[in-house]
Structure 1
Amino acid sequence: MLDNISIKTKLISLSIIISLSFVLILFIELLSINKISEIENIGTQINKLEIQQLELRKNEKDFLSRKDLKYLEKFNENISNIQKISSTLDTNFDLFDLDKTKLNNYNTIIKDYSTIFTKIVNLQQKIGLKEDNGLYGSLRNSVHLVQEFAKKSNDNYLLATVYDLRKQEKDFMLRLDEKYVENFNKIIIKLEKDEKYKEIIPLISSYKTDFLNLVTSEKEKGFNENSGMMKEMRDIVHKCAKSQEILTTGISQKIVELHDKIVFYSYSIIIIIALFIIIALLYISRVINKSLSTFQEGLGEFFAFLNNETKNINLLDDKNDNEFGNMSKIINSNIIKVQENIIKDKALIDDATKVANDIKDGHLSSRIVTNSNSNELNELKNVINLMLENLSSNINNILEVLKNYSNYDYTKRVNTKLVKGDILELCENINQVGNTITKMLVDSKTIGLNLQNSAHILVDNVKFLTQNANTTAASLEETAAAVEEITSTIAKNSQNINEMSQYSKNVISALKTGEELANRTTTSMDEINAQVIAINESITLIDQIAFQTNILSLNAAVEAATAGEAGRGFAVVAAEVRNLASRSAEVAREIKILVENATSKANIGKEIASNMIEGYATLNSNIQNTVNLINSVSTASKEQQIGMEQINSSINQLDQQTQEIATISSTTQQIAQETNNIAIEIVKNSDEKEFDGKNSIKIQEKR
């Protein structure tokens, strides 16, 4: 069926099929790349989701440690980003028909996380973000009222009790342990039962209420990560991390499956298209090759007849309607005509062959004498004979010019006034050869002179380049040494920062020890205060005894005076007893003054110890922040060290390349010198020949 279709139509059809196949393959590749890009976008969104989740954890930790609402805003902003990413993933899941159960579960956990964190923030606002607001502020105001009242009362016991309450309060706020709340309640109950302190009971009750409200809120929030809302949030965080891991693992597996599936289908379709193209090419090539082989065999037989290789000739197969069939018909009609004329013309051709052989041997005087039945051949014979006459004359003229050329004289030219046709073209070509050789020699000498001039400049420039390369290599070596020294300094700084971090840890340990000693000092001051009160009571008793003794001595003196001489000795004793009572009273007053001073000093010491405890807490926080800063500086210093090591490596590599450039420059200088020698040889060789314009060549100026 395809035999009657033209070759042009077959080739156009084959080109269209191949073009459409490549377009289809390109479309499939673009579609596959687009799908793979969309699949990889899912993995990118999952990574963004993980980053936003880590940001949530960071903002949560920052708020709990710094009590600043700006971290709640950042937390909510990250939640909004997670929702946007989840919305994008939801769309991509619909696009690839993926199961959204894990994604929906993750979104639910994120909402729970946001809810519980918001509750904790609200509760912390209720408790107080700073010492002067919320429950902290109320408690502080109540404490100041109670403490001022106790100081104004000049009651050491009441003041000691208030300080004890403050101690339990501070211990609870510092350690978040309910045993300090129990101790606080016991002290309050004992104070409330004492009828002596009815006036301070309302202030104490307000103090107690504010403190217990703070305890309740702290308990609701959670004393640690294993209680209250903090435990609930930790559980949700763990669920969130687990859900993130499950989602990431599932999506990664699904992405790999989708990617492999797309690649498989793409390659399968491309292989099918490629096989189809190969089959079409083979089939059409086979049909064309078959027709071409048939035509080639027939044409071969015809040329064999023309070349006298055979006496018989067969007509070509011309039954097909394609290009080969049409050519076969035309050739068959000409075969018949040629076969008739060949025999008639053979005699003339034989004679022409003989003449041609004579001319081939160099005998230009030989001529064709045989006639043919073909007017064209007879005319050809006459033309050939006339051509031979003119050719012989022109050849002699040409040989004379070529002889001059062989002697390197290119100033002569062939005379073309009486020459026409191919001989004219031959003569003109020989003249053109002379002109071309002349131009070539002019160009050769010009190029040689310019090359000689350029070679001098190149030698100077390469010499300058070599000097600069060597200087640059030396500078790079000095730079590399300086960078190595800087790298060593950075490494030493990093080591010093690590030692500073260790010293900070030692300071924190010493700080905790000092805080414990301050607490023990406060306890000792309370015990000293109790002992001073007991001593004060004993002094009061001594004072009373001295007063009673003084009265008894006065009575004894009165009785001794009444007794006269008999009571004189008793009067002396009574006087001594009165003197002893006076001294006892005076000593008691002095001891009382000393005890009161000791009590005042003990109270001052207790207040100083409390201030020390608060100072230790603040110092502990500041030292912890300093440790964090030192750790950040240590990390940055390590990154700096890595960067300097990379710079050092790059400079060493640049140093090696510069040294290679210096070596290449030295080699180039040698090549430039050799080029200069070649230019001198070219100019010398050109000067040895004769040609027009030889002595008018100028060197082009270099700018």
Structure 2
Amino acid sequence: MLNNISTRKKLMFFPALFILNIIIAGMLYSYFNAKVKHTTEAQISTEEFIQDLLKGRISVYQFLRVSNEQRAQKVRDDFANLDSEVKQLQATLTEKENIKLADKILELSALYVKDFDLFSKEKIRTYNEGTQAESAEAKRLILEMRKIALELEKTLNDINKRAISLKEDASSTLTTVLLILAIVSSILFILFSVALSSLIVNTLNDFKHGLLSFFSFLNRETSDVKALNAKGSDEFAQMAKVVNENITLINEGLKKDNQAVEDALKVVEKAKLGYLDVQLQTQANNPQLLQLSEALNSMLRNIKRNTDSISVVLKEFSNYKFTSKVDSSGIQGDMKEFIENVNFLTGEISGLL
């Protein structure tokens, strides 16, 4: 499959994977960091709830010391502020358990304020009358308020602990996810690097073996040449196809040249035996060999023509005709000397007769 992908695209995988890794890491970090931030804000808010409850109870103690409507309203305002903050947080919560705890806080707060309203009316009345002793109803309401306050405090601590736990879980999850992403990315980088390097090395080795086989053929070490592996459409496959095309052309040319040399040797052997009417028919691919073949054919034709001319003159001797001579124009060297000797013999015999 990788053979059908260009080397440039293969190498582009690394920066693409790196960019993709950065994008994924950024998205994951943004998502989990938002969760960490949200849970941190929830933790801070729940801690503020505990402080608001403490303020409300302090306001109750202050009301017990000086029981008037102003102090009573201060208690109501403190718990109203607690309710408002709890509702704001509840709107952002996603955990069902936390939502239930927020509902419970609002419910307990409402019960506490309800009992306080009943208690405050009785307390303001007795305070204005100067009565120090608490009525049975007032004592009952105080006990009920204390019980509700303790339950409310416990619930606030529970939601605070859950907020802390969620924050720690979100932080831990963020670290784990980023670590897994780093490990997976590293494994992908390593696997692709090994696969790509192995592919390139194997392709280069095939390329090298193919060229060595071709060079062995050129050096006459082997009688045949193997084509390079040209599977795929990447740069190496394209180079292999070009090399294979040239190997085919050169191989065919060498075979033609070898055949021409073989035929030339046969012609020479026949010429050595005295056959001068032979010609080299095979067309060589090499221009020099082609030129040599043409020169050899021309030489054989000239020798054949000269020997034929000499043969004609010598045959005339059998008919007692000694007047013909062999034309030696354009001829030099030993052949010219041979023709001149034949012509001299013809002239001498003709003179004697």
TM-score by length of 1: 0.30
- Report the 3-state secondary structure (helix = DSSP H, G, I; strand = E; otherwise coil) of the residue aligned with 1:98: helix
* Counterpart code for 1:219: S
* Alignment of structure 1 residues 346-357 onto 2, 5 Å: none
CA distance in 2, matches of 1:266, 1:35: 15
Aligned match of 2:79: 79
Cα displacement string for residues 93-112 of structure 1 (whole angstroms, at most 9, x for unaligned residues): 4x234354443333222222
1:135 aligns with 2:51: no
CA distance in 2, matches of 1:312, 1:87: 92
1:39/1:259 contact within 8 Å kept: no
Distance 1:281 1:96, change over 3 A: farther
* Counterpart code for 2:230: K
CA distance in 1, matches of 2:10, 2:227: 22
Aligned match of 2:120: 121
Aligned match of 1:20: 20
1:242 aligns with 2:151: no
* Counterpart code for 1:125: I
Select 2:135's aligned residue among 214, 219, 227.
219
Distance 1:317 1:112, change over 3 A: same
* Alignment of structure 1 residues 13-412 onto 2, 5 Å: 13-67=13-67, 69-93=69-93, 95-98=94-97, 100-128=99-127, 134-136=128-130, 214=131, 218-219=134-135, 227-253=139-165, 255-257=167-169, 260=172, 263-264=175-176, 267-268=179-180, 271-295=183-207, 317=228, 319-320=230-231, 321-328=233-240, 333=246
1:6/1:322 contact within 8 Å kept: yes
Cα displacement string for residues 599-644 of structure 1 (whole angstroms, at most 9, x for unaligned residues): xxxxxxxxxxxxxxxxxxxxxxxxxxxxxxxxxxxxxxxxxxxxxx
* Counterpart code for 1:36: V
1:318/1:324 contact within 8 Å kept: no
1:55 Cα shift?
A: 1.3
2:40/2:163 contact within 8 Å kept: no
1:50 Cα shift?
A: 1.0
2:86/2:106 contact within 8 Å kept: yes
* Counterpart code for 2:120: V
1:32/1:263 contact within 8 Å kept: no
Aligned match of 1:131: none
CA distance in 2, matches of 1:7, 1:16: 14
* Alignment of structure 1 residues 508-527 onto 2, 5 Å: none
1:49/1:85 contact within 8 Å kept: yes
* Counterpart code for 1:326: Q
* Alignment of structure 1 residues 447-596 onto 2, 5 Å: none
Distance 1:75 1:283, change over 3 A: farther
Distance 1:253 1:324, change over 3 A: closer
Cα displacement string for residues 524-552 of structure 1 (whole angstroms, at most 9, x for unaligned residues): xxxxxxxxxxxxxxxxxxxxxxxxxxxxx
Instruction: Give the number of the structure whose alpha-carbon radius of gyration is greater.
Output: 1
1:56 Cα shift?
A: 1.0
1:32/1:266 contact within 8 Å kept: no
1:248 Cα shift?
A: 3.1
Cα displacement string for residues 532-581 of structure 1 (whole angstroms, at most 9, x for unaligned residues): xxxxxxxxxxxxxxxxxxxxxxxxxxxxxxxxxxxxxxxxxxxxxxxxxx
Distance 1:326 1:105, change over 3 A: closer
CA distance in 1, matches of 2:16, 2:161: 47
CA distance in 1, matches of 2:116, 2:168: 36
2:109/2:152 contact within 8 Å kept: yes
Aligned match of 2:295: none
* Counterpart code for 2:129: L
1:290 Cα shift?
A: 2.3
1:221/1:229 contact within 8 Å kept: yes
CA distance in 2, matches of 1:47, 1:237: 16
CA RMSD of aligned residues (A): 4.0
CA distance in 1, matches of 2:68, 2:205: 93
1:258 Cα shift?
A: 5.5
1:8 Cα shift?
A: 1.7
Distance 1:326 1:19, change over 3 A: same
Cα displacement string for residues 46-79 of structure 1 (whole angstroms, at most 9, x for unaligned residues): 1121111111122222232344644444433322
CA distance in 2, matches of 1:236, 1:28: 43
1:234 Cα shift?
A: 2.6
CA distance in 1, matches of 2:136, 2:189: 77
Where is the helix percentage greater, Structure 1 or Structure 2? 1
Aligned match of 1:610: none
Identity %: 16
Aligned match of 2:266: none
1:43 Cα shift?
A: 1.6
Aligned match of 2:2: 2
Aligned length: 244
CA distance in 2, matches of 1:108, 1:246: 15
Highest relative contact order (Cα 8 Å, sep 6+), 1 or 2?
A: 2
* Counterpart code for 2:34: N
* Counterpart code for 2:102: L
Aligned match of 2:260: none
- Report the 3-state secondary structure (helix = DSSP H, G, I; strand = E; otherwise coil) of the residue aligned with 1:283: helix
TM-score by length of 2: 0.55
1:220/1:228 contact within 8 Å kept: yes
CA distance in 1, matches of 2:173, 2:82: 29
Distance 1:229 1:2, change over 3 A: closer
